Chain A
Amino acid sequence: MAWTREQLAERAAKELQDGFYVNLGIGIPTLVANFIPDDMDVTLQSENGMLGMGPFPREDEVDPDLINAGKQTITELKKTSYFSSADSFAMIRGGHINLSILGAMEVSEKGDIANWMIPGKMVKGMGGAMDLVAGVQRVVVIMDHTNKAGESKLLKECSLPLTGTGCVDRIITTLGVFDVVEGGLKLVELAPGVTLDEIAQATEASYKVADSVAA
């Protein structure tokens, strides 16, 4: 069985480590916050200018001056700080953030990522994604393994305009986990019940299979 959205987020939460400063992208990555272990100290950064993001507010706590990068209302914690966009991207571009978990439309076997534009169709913009993939210490992508047409999103080369080149460290798809290593991808984990054959059928990019998975 392929991982569901919730299960993807739960699997991605295993990438967190005690003491990490982490930026979560919009969409499924936001759900990762629900799976931070209680005994782990993780500080979430929101690129619109907040370190130490709390949970969504209760109805009587909603504050229009307090939102996350997805424009959702949010709350602060005792450890929270606020700052300007320039300081926020000093944290990101300057390599001070330990981990970024992002969604993607396409990822290549060289670790290139495309997630901001479909020419002629979708005009939204890159927001902070290009800064995040360029500056954060470790970049993990979580995404469906295939697109709505059933085509692989793990490609030899990205076809869409890139967000960054050679910047992705790990990809967690609905079918399994791939690391970007010297010379291409390495399949290091399968979603429960998913076979190597299923992965092979659904994947355009070339990849090696880790010994632990092949066994």
Chain B
Amino acid sequence: MKKVYSDAAAALDGLLFDGMTIMAGGFGLCGIPENLITALRDSGTRDLTVISNNAGVDDFGLGLLLQTRQIKKMISSYVGENKTFEKQFLSGELELEFNPQGTLAERCRAGGAGIPAFYTKTGVGTLVADGKDHKEFNGETYIMETALIADVSLVKAWKADTEGNLVYRKTARNFNPMMATAGKVTIAEVEEIVEPGELDPDHIHTPSIFVKRLIKGDHEKRIEQRTTRA
């Protein structure tokens, strides 16, 4: 089966519908599927629930989908870098579910691994625990968190082979590996696509079984906080 598509729009074709749930990898603007996000915006698909650690900035990443009001709900751990987000949320236009970052990562991992729920001590005694099942293990209290899956997961990797095996680079890995496992359909955008055998099988981060479609993108890789020393 051919997994490599010509561009982001082609890779999304036939998968999108209003009200769907999307996972998007990345931490801040690092390791985000920027080509697929732009194509999703151009598709005009609406009422999206988007699961992503952050919400981009006003004019880049998921911020693009906020500007066009295509997002109905975000599930994130931190959205502090996006003023459009704050405005839409405080005015009641946008739903928001805050998850602790580790809980969000584990909910995605669980979703991909066929584990419907798990217990964690993160968030016990806070707003996050409201309405959730509490249970004691070895004398400590834990809360139950449920798994997340997406209709489509959009991930960014450094390299892929044509089979869909993925390798990430440095801290651009972040949420991408878990989200790649948790999509009913996962689309990866990468900087380079090589032939099978060119990636060391011992160094594959995401095995091909999790990746249904693949594109080579052009990446701006915008830096949020360029910090240097003399």
Contact = CB atoms under 8 A, between A and B. Distances in A.
A119 B102 CA distance: 23
B12 interface: no
Nearest to B227: A72
B120 A93 contact: yes
A49 interface: yes
Nearest to A92: B102
A130 B103 CA distance: 9
Interface in B77-136: 77-81, 85-86, 89-90, 96, 98, 100-106, 108-109, 120-128
Interface string B151-173: 00000001000000000111111
A82 B171 contact: yes
A55 B78 CA distance: 24
Contact of A125 (B29, B79, B223): B79
Interface centre among B79, B124, B171 (most CB of A within 10 A): B171
A58 interface: yes
Interface residues of B, number: 59
B79 A165 contact: no
Contact of B106 (A47, A70, A73, A89): A89
A57 B223 CA distance: 13
Contacts of B222: 64
B127 A86 contact: no
Given A48-B171, A49-B174, A67-B171, A127 B101 contact: yes
B224 interface: yes
Nearest to B180: A84
A102 B76 CA distance: 21
A128 interface: yes
24 contacts: A48-B27, A62-B228, A64-B29, A65-B172, A66-B171, A73-B223, A73-B228, A84-B174, A84-B177, A85-B27, A85-B102, A86-B106, A93-B120, A123-B86, A123-B96, A126-B78, A126-B101, A128-B77, A128-B102, A163-B126, A164-B123, A164-B125, A164-B126, A165-B124
Interface of B: 27-31, 53, 76-81, 85-86, 89-90, 96, 98, 100-106, 108-109, 120-128, 158, 168-178, 205, 221-230
List of 6 A-B pairs having minimum Cβ-Cβ separation, nearest first: A89-B102, A124-B80, A131-B102, A165-B125, A64-B221, A85-B105
